[in-house]
Amino acid sequence: MAEIDRPVSLSGLTEGEAREFHGVFMTSFMVFVAVAIVAHILAWMWRPWIPGPEGYAFLQDLPTTASAFLSTLA
Protein backbone atom coordinates (compact mmCIF):
# COMPACT_ATOMS: atom_id res chain seq x y z
CA MET A 1 0.00 0.00 0.00
CA ALA A 2 1.35 3.41 -0.92
CA GLU A 3 2.13 5.92 1.81
CA ILE A 4 0.02 9.08 1.83
CA ASP A 5 2.05 12.23 1.21
CA ARG A 6 1.43 14.82 3.87
CA PRO A 7 3.34 17.94 4.80
CA VAL A 8 5.70 17.21 7.70
CA SER A 9 7.75 19.64 9.76
CA LEU A 10 11.17 19.08 11.31
CA SER A 11 9.52 17.52 14.37
CA GLY A 12 7.67 14.98 12.24
CA LEU A 13 4.27 16.31 13.29
CA THR A 14 1.60 17.66 11.03
CA GLU A 15 0.31 21.16 11.69
CA GLY A 16 -2.78 19.82 13.49
CA GLU A 17 -0.71 17.51 15.69
CA ALA A 18 1.71 20.31 16.47
CA ARG A 19 -1.15 22.62 17.48
CA GLU A 20 -2.63 19.92 19.72
CA PHE A 21 0.75 19.26 21.36
CA HIS A 22 1.27 22.99 21.83
CA GLY A 23 -2.11 23.31 23.54
CA VAL A 24 -1.38 20.48 25.96
CA PHE A 25 2.12 21.82 26.62
CA MET A 26 0.90 25.36 27.32
CA THR A 27 -1.87 24.12 29.63
CA SER A 28 0.50 21.96 31.66
CA PHE A 29 3.08 24.78 31.75
CA MET A 30 0.49 27.24 33.11
CA VAL A 31 -0.53 24.74 35.80
CA PHE A 32 3.14 24.27 36.75
CA VAL A 33 3.68 28.05 36.96
CA ALA A 34 0.55 28.49 39.09
CA VAL A 35 1.69 25.78 41.52
CA ALA A 36 5.16 27.34 41.68
CA ILE A 37 3.71 30.80 42.42
CA VAL A 38 1.53 29.41 45.22
CA ALA A 39 4.51 27.51 46.66
CA HIS A 40 6.66 30.66 46.62
CA ILE A 41 3.94 32.70 48.32
CA LEU A 42 3.52 30.06 51.01
CA ALA A 43 7.29 29.86 51.54
CA TRP A 44 7.46 33.66 51.82
CA MET A 45 4.65 33.67 54.39
CA TRP A 46 6.43 30.93 56.37
CA ARG A 47 9.90 32.52 56.32
CA PRO A 48 10.54 35.79 54.44
CA TRP A 49 13.68 35.77 52.31
CA ILE A 50 14.52 39.39 53.11
CA PRO A 51 15.15 40.06 56.80
CA GLY A 52 13.04 42.55 58.70
CA PRO A 53 14.28 45.52 60.76
CA GLU A 54 15.77 43.24 63.43
CA GLY A 55 17.48 41.05 60.82
CA TYR A 56 17.44 37.31 61.22
CA ALA A 57 17.40 37.56 65.02
CA PHE A 58 14.18 35.55 65.12
CA LEU A 59 16.20 32.50 64.00
CA GLN A 60 17.87 32.31 67.43
CA ASP A 61 14.70 30.71 68.80
CA LEU A 62 14.54 28.19 65.96
CA PRO A 63 15.98 25.17 67.87
CA THR A 64 13.41 25.65 70.66
CA THR A 65 10.59 26.05 68.15
CA ALA A 66 11.76 23.07 66.09
CA SER A 67 12.03 20.78 69.12
CA ALA A 68 8.55 21.83 70.29
CA PHE A 69 7.15 21.17 66.84
CA LEU A 70 8.88 17.78 66.55
CA SER A 71 7.60 16.75 69.99
CA THR A 72 4.04 17.39 68.81
CA LEU A 73 4.60 15.06 65.86
CA ALA A 74 5.81 12.18 68.03
Strand partners, 52: 55
DSSP 62: H
Q: Is residue 11 very low, low, confident or very high in pLDDT (cuts 50, 70, 90)?
A: confident
Q: Report domain extents, the chain.
A: 15-73
DSSP 5: P
Q: pLDDT tens digit string along 16-69?
A: 999 999 999 999 999 999 999 999 999 988 877 777 667 666 666 666 766 776
Query: What sign has the CA pseudo-torsion 22, 23, 27, 30?
Result: positive
